[in-house]
A and B are shown apart, each in its own frame.
Chain A
């Protein structure tokens, strides 16, 4: 069962998730090494492969606020992390959906590091504390992209149909 490996508060910015000084690194294959680079302990666990794919970062409101840098989403995706937050900042949420990073909005979620979470379509269940939290659906405007498995795949179908404004 997915375990909470990091519990954070509100307003975690993209400068914290992926510090600006690594922005020259853009490839999704290379960005994961700099995830939470200024959190030496957590970054060390990630880069030492001590965090299994499917592990959960829990955060408060407005996760991913700040920059539009897509590295903030790709670096987390590269480690197979799932982000459960009370809320997400707009651009980060869109980047996450576009890339297929697993994000879950649970406005009331309260849990702690080391807890085991069961993530269902409509709720998140903390199997350690026994508490359950409702899940808010992702924006319906983005459903077609989610269904396609990400924005590249979605746009590819549109390009193939020559469905453009050229």
Chain B
């Protein structure tokens, strides 16, 4: 891949620069260029109801009949309030269903126990996200899909209406890239969630605003796609436009073996002389379990600082940590033991497929026998719209991605964020517990 020449000096491209150059039909782009990339995949959830309204509004008075640029490239996944918690939601979902049918939108995942789930798991596991793709979603955690070597970013509903009409993301400024270079082997009970929490703590909530985090290093190369999804999912909590893991053997393995993709894959990797804004180096060999404390995600401390804090509700699941390896870790930790009295353990798998696998492997039985409530796949308690609300003065410990004031539905409660290992160990004791110590 030829780099572009500037001032006589060859300058390579980062992954996001390569993807945006390809998608906007250019040889090369550089940071700050304004481009209109063609969109490969446009995802919405329940907020498709608003997108539909705005989409129809675009065509009002134009004399042009409303028409979606490419129904095959639109994915709609119901996950935020499933099954509907109110007549209002149910009516919105009904309207979206009707729109989907009328417009031939193929990648529609309704409330179902076979193909349903959370959008950020449904898209990867169905092979909708491919290396090199431009993915937009009306959800801030669309950053997740960078785990599969795509440029994936969150947008608002009106912006999505524009994508539905035009097929391009308008006026995208090519973002700068921060290289995150990770080395070392995770100690026991420390993993990708601890790494990303540590990074968010170091960068701060806006440390990567308008930037891409591109993950490199031996630790990333040997990390599963499940772990990479954790990193990219939470990149937005440092403000990042997208997280991004350059494609490699694991990307291909996941897409072939798990997502059943058969078409040719074109991995995008950065040039050797790609220009990064800066490089952050992390050695995970000495990392300890990390906890994001109330009420911001960047308020991150080592577990020793908060050990013993009483928790009333433990949540394991979500688009961040609801995959099979997360549920397996939780099941192993609680097998043959009991959730502490006075503490609720809520588990919600990231997709129906994962739920089925967890049933088949006995993880669901392990969890239920220990006292966990295993809920249907969906966003569940994460954003306080549906179920698992907290009482006044209660404390939650959760593997989800946000702990803002009021996040779980009650501004008079507190949310701590952690890994599945910490969550499971803490559910058994009823207090924040270091899983490395054994209980």
Contacts and interface: CB of A to CB of B under 8 A. Distances in A.
A157 to B, nearest CB: 9
B411 interface: yes
Contacts of B167: 164-166
Contact size class for B?
35 or more
Contacts of A145: 170-171
Interface in B32-63: 34, 38, 46-47, 49-50, 53-54, 57-63
A11 to B, nearest CB: 5
Interface string A83-102: 00001011100110011000
Nearest to A140: B34
A145 B161 CA distance: 14
B86 A20 contact: no
Interface in A12-37: 13, 15-16, 19-21, 23-27
Contacts of B241: 90
Listed residue (B38, B61, B411) with the most chain A CB atoms within 10 angstroms of its CB:
B411
Contacts of B168: 165
Given A19-B406, A20-B409, A159 B166 contact: yes
A75 to B, nearest CB: 13
A131 interface: no
Interface residues of A, number: 51
Interface stretch (B202-210, B225-233, B270-278, B391-399): B202-210
A128 interface: no
A103 interface: no
A98 B239 contact: no
A144 B206 contact: no
A73 B156 CA distance: 10
B205 A65 contact: yes
A127 B79 CA distance: 48
B402 A144 contact: no
B8 to A, nearest CB: 27
Contacts of A95: 156, 158-159
Interface in B139-181: 139-140, 142, 154-159, 161-162, 165-168, 170-173
Contact of A65 (B161, B239, B411): B239
B88 interface: yes
Contacts of A89: 206, 209, 239
Contacts of B166: 155, 158-159, 163-165
A68 B154 contact: yes
Contact of B404 (A13, A68, A87, A144): A13
A150 B140 CA distance: 21
A73 B236 CA distance: 19
B272 to A, nearest CB: 29
Interface of A: 10-11, 13, 15-16, 19-21, 23-27, 38, 61-62, 65-70, 73, 87, 89-91, 94-95, 98-99, 139-142, 144-145, 150-152, 154-156, 158-160, 162-166
Interface of B: 34, 38, 46-47, 49-50, 53-54, 57-64, 67, 69-70, 80-81, 86, 88-89, 92, 137-140, 142, 154-159, 161-162, 165-168, 170-173, 205-206, 209-210, 239, 241, 296, 298, 383-385, 402, 404-407, 409, 411
Given A90-B209, A166-B167, 11 more contacts: A15-B405, A26-B47, A62-B205, A66-B140, A68-B140, A69-B156, A70-B157, A91-B155, A91-B156, A155-B162, A165-B167
29 contacts: A11-B206, A13-B404, A16-B405, A20-B384, A20-B407, A23-B46, A24-B81, A24-B92, A38-B411, A62-B239, A66-B402, A67-B140, A68-B156, A69-B47, A70-B50, A91-B155, A98-B159, A99-B158, A141-B171, A151-B159, A151-B170, A152-B57, A155-B165, A156-B61, A159-B58, A159-B62, A164-B165, A165-B167, A165-B168
